[in-house]
Every structure is written in C-alpha cells, then in structure tokens.
Chain A
Amino acid sequence: MNFERLTEYKYRIPREGKMEVDAAFYASEKILEDLEAEDYASLRQLRNVATLPGIIEPALTMPDIHWGYGFPIGGVAAFDSQRGGVVSPGGIGFDINCGVRLLTSGIDREVLERHKSRLADELFRAVPSGVGKGRKDFRLDRGNLEETLVEGPAPLVERGYGDPEDLGRIESGGRLAGADPGAVSDRAYERGGSQLGTLGSGNHFLEVQYVDEVYDEEAARAFGLQEDFVTVLIHSGSRGLGHQVCQDYLERFLEAAPRYGIDLVDRQLAAVPIESPEGEAYLRAMSAAANFAFTNRQLITHFTREAFASAGFEHRLGVLYDLAHNNAKFEEHAGRRVLVHRKGATRAFGPGEEELPEEYRSVGQPVLVPGDMGRYSFVLAGTEGAMRETFGSSAHGAGRKMSRKKAKKAAKGRDVIRELKDRGILVRAAGRATVDEEMSEAYKDAADVIEATHGAGIGRRVARLRPMIVVKG
C-alpha cells in the first residue's frame, strides 16, 4: 500500500491506477498498526471509493476506519453533480441514518446511583429492543407513517411525543428535505412500520452515563455538560425500513450503473449519477428513511423520559444533540455544492456555521462518539479544521477488533453481565448472545480514536462519559 505521512495524524494515498483523486486518511501510530495487521484492507476500500466519477478530492476516512461494504466504515466522500458526480447507497450503508442522540438530565450521578436498578428495569420495560415489533400502545397508520417520512419527528412532537425545543437540537432539524414516501417500497413500509420506536439489536443501545471528565469548559458549558451529571446516549437507526430502502436501490443501481458507463471495481460501490432518475429516486427514498430514523430516536427519547418519570425522577431530559453517522447530504464546501456521503462518519460543523443551533454556534457542533459498554464515550466539538480538511466530518465510534465468533468464545464460562455489574454498570438485555458479542474486549479503545481525531484537529475533545446502565437488544 503506497501512502505518505503528511502530518502526525494525516496520511495521503496518491492517485494511481483507476483512482480519480488522491485519498487521505487519519490515524495514530496504533491505528496504523491495526491497518497493517489487516493488510490494509480498509485502505484498499478507500482507494476504490476514489475511483468513483465526479468525486472531489480527497476521498477520506476518519480515525475509526475499518472494513465495510464498498465504502470503508469511517468513509467520507463528496461528489459534484456538475462533474457527473454519483450517489452510492454503499456510501451511506444499509442502516440509513444510523446515528446517536445524547440527552442531558441535571441529575447528579450519586442520586441516580440510589435508584439505578429501578431505572434500569423501567428503561428495559419502556424502550423496545431486540427483534420484534414496537410497543402495542403506539402504532401509526400508513398515512401518519408517510407524514413521518416527509416531516421527521415534528408531527409526533406536536402530538405530545416530545418538546418543541427537541427539534432544534437535531441535525437538519430532524428533517431532510425532498423526502418522497412514494419512493419507498411496500416491503420497506411492512418491515419498518411496526419498528418505529425500537432500539434494534447488535451494536445498538441505550446507555445512561455520567460526565466523568470535562476537557473544554467553554464548550461543555454551551452543551450543558457538567461533571457528575447524568446523560443518556441512544444509538439506533432506520430499522427494517432503511435496510430495505438500501437493498432495493442497491440492486437497481447495479443494473443501471453500466448504462451510465460506470465501471464498478466493487459491486457494493454500485452508483449512478446524482442527476439521473435512479439517483434522484434514491435520494428521495434515503431522505425518507433518514427522517424515519430521526423520528425513531425521538420516540425512544419519549419512552426514556417516561421511564425516568416512572422511576421517580422529576427532572426533564433535554436533547443535547442528535446526529447521523450514515447519511448523504447536499452541503456547500469551498463555495461548491456537493453531495457528502458519510458512512460511519459524523458531520462536525465548526464554529460560526449558520446551520448550528445559536447556543452552539460559538463553539461548534456537538460530535458524539460512543465507545463500548464497559469503558467510555466522548463528546467532541466540530472544528474549522474539519471544515477545511474533511468536508466538515469527524469520527463516529470505536470499531470492533474481535469477531462475534471470537467474542462469544471469549465469553464462554464467564458472566459478562455480572462482571459489568461488579463494576457498577447494570445491563438489561433482550438476549445474552448480544451482550457477549458486544463485550468491551471485542472493541478497540475509543480513546485511541479520540486521540487521533483531536490531534488531527478534526474534532475537539469536550467531555468523557462513563456508563451506568446499558440497555441492549
């Protein structure tokens, strides 16, 4: 693999072969060792991304780079429709608008500690997780579901499933424009319709945490974060609806790509011109699925608020921020309107950006980076460096270092839930298999990702959060 070091944390892969542009990746020495250990499989995927038509230099990966489908996880690529730029569902992922939302509480950690077990039970009861349908007391008919796909969470908030202030704290106000419910298949409605307001399983979770350390007082104050105060992190996406949208359009694009003269080096990179009937239809469907996911996290927030109230807490949980880490959005960068694909990467707009809530504009957008359930997660702030170098993007998580098979083997004879309880972390899970697969040791250390992100200037450390309760599907 041919690459050169540009700075302590930034590397360049020069354009060669079928690449249209250079690629760049961010890594510490430790992350670089991991990349070498996998024979640079992820970087080969990054090089493949750089072959797509109309791509704006550079093709990028964030420090949490790991192997994905077509695009590597941590991949960021911007395309100019005026130069024949393409849209690729693989650059967004099957879980469209998989993302995270962080809630703040004003509750002191010691107070929560006294009611932790009861809260854990209430959360597990209130927030559906694992396979299966959502709560029986919440159902939308097709008409209301289609409205959600167009408008995002706003109609449900109007009906009492949230506070009006919540909407201003969601990326893009929780609504991507241009969504078309007609571009979403009946199978997608069938799969996702009953899953609205559910966590899912795998690496999705709801976590009650406390602020363990503050690194940037000014940003923490702007975000409403204070040491020892309790937060809640929600990680979920567009569920079966989004998965089906991606499946539907991936196949359509595979069939269409040759007609546009697009030579795919990897089928999972299936792509068509942004300004094509297929491309425009996908973007309308993708926006619909993204709005569904924002609504999903809004409903989970509502159920979480119910659980806190049932557990005896009077504090109202506020939304710090909600952001996507699988998405494609039209944005303006360096005076040009481009379609930015983020696959396991987070938007990280810097200080002064108009799109940010006024209260965050001086410090930059909150960037939420979950770690594993045994260690910590992080809050960062978007930076001018990110705006300059990465199309306003940053890292999104830690990434696995152990396969599910190996994790289950390592968990044999152990009681992972008990081990976490002994460390003060209560787990409520729909099944033991997921907990074993998601054990801490299966994941890389999120602190390594944060070191590289902060060091590279594409995200500024604000606070570290530690888990108290974990709900998993």
Chain B
Amino acid sequence: MNKGLKRFVKGDLTVRGIALFYIGLLIILPVIAITTEAFKGGIPNLWKQITLPQALFSLKFTFIIALIMLVINIITGTATAWVLVRYDFPLKKTINALIDIPFAIPTVVTGMMLIVLCGPRSLIGDFFGKHGIEIIYNKPGIILALIFVTFPFVVRSVQPVLIEMERDMEEAAQTLGASKFKIFFHIVLPTIFPSMLTGAALSFSRALGEFGSIVIVAGNIPMKTQVASVYIYGEIESANIQSGLGTAVVLLLSSFIVLIFLNFIQRWSNKYGK
C-alpha cells in the first residue's frame, strides 16, 4: 500500500485538525464560555436571574408567541406545499421561486415592510385600529413577523416529500370510495408527517431567537410585548450582563433541544420512512 493511500484510508489528520479547530473556536468554545459565565454565581443565582419578573415574562411570551406561529405555519405551509406540488395554476413557477424571499430579505427590512403594510398609518392598520385592534406594536404584529420569517421552513421541508410520494395508494383508496379527508389523514399525512415536524422544529427555533424583525415591530414594552431576545439585548446594552445571561442560557438550551429533536426525527424517518 502506498503512503498516500494509507493516509487516505486513515483519514488525513491535518485536514481533520483544521475542521475541528474551526468548530471548536466558533461553536464549542463560545458555548462553553457563556455557560461557564452564567453558572459562575452558582445555580441559585442563575435561577434568580431567570425568574426575574421581566425575564420570566419575556421567556413565557416568546414561547407562547412561537407556538401560535407554529400552528399557523404548519397548516399554511403544508397547504402551500400541497398546492405547489399537486396543482397547476398560472404563476406557479414565480410563486414557487418567491417562497424563499423571507430567507433572503434582511430581518430589519422585514420589520419595516410590516410597518408599512399594517402600521397605524396604513390602510390595513387604520381599518383594524378603528375596531380597536392594534397590529403593529402589539402581539398580532409580532406573530405576523414570525410567520413571515419562518414561512419557507415547512413549505420547503414538505415539498420534496410530496414530490417523491407515489400516488398509486391514493388512487387505490379513491377507487375504493374513500373520502378526500380520509385519504389525506390515512395516506398522505403519515407520509409527510416527519417532514412537517422537521419544518416545524426549524421554524420554532428560528422564532424563539428572532430579533431583527421583532425589535422593529413589537414596541418592546417590558411585561407586555418584550420577547426574550429583545430582553437580553436590553440587558447587554445596560450592562446587566448577569440578568441577560440567565435568559440567554435558557434560549441556548432550547436551541440544543431542538437540534436533538431534529436528529431524532431524521433517524426515525430514515428507519420507518423508506
């Protein structure tokens, strides 16, 4: 065996070293640093920071808002993927291309677009304002921002699975007289379910951490419309590092849980999906 081949089979250690160094410097070390810093004052102190009324509210508020977004996005995202895969209609290609726009547009710009569209001076905002519903600087605006920035996740997760899905089972069920709903819930849904969960998990983690669009749209009133990331930013700005750390660690932990969940779904669907 020649020398190069030997090295190749064992795996080039220099290349691996460089890769591990980069991941270590940019991902592992910062996570360890912030966790160490958070636990420096002891667990009781950290717990105290997390349960400060403002911090606790911002965390609860973020999770509730993200859950509302999730329900809306799972339904609309799956419906959009379904329509794009199964039906033909004018402008289909353009719309399919534009689905990714929320990923490409800077979040600050997203926030400003929503203000233009639904702000107090706009047509929509004016209409709802007359009926006593405030969209911008309140909860509906935040939910709207989250729906916008996470819209592509569910669509883009479900779409490829729908494209690959064989239709003979559905057609068999149809000829046997099954209703559309029965077909959807017994044949289509089980097939696309893992991909829906993947899209949902991705949008959920994005929603928990979203900052740019929300900071513009939310009004950021403590105990009313302040999400966790905005709370943390405020604490950093006013040099309350410790109280910011508590909330940051909770968000970081949630990100890890989502990652583990995503891994789990992937293994599960690899095992049973095919």
Q: Do A and B bind each other?
A: no
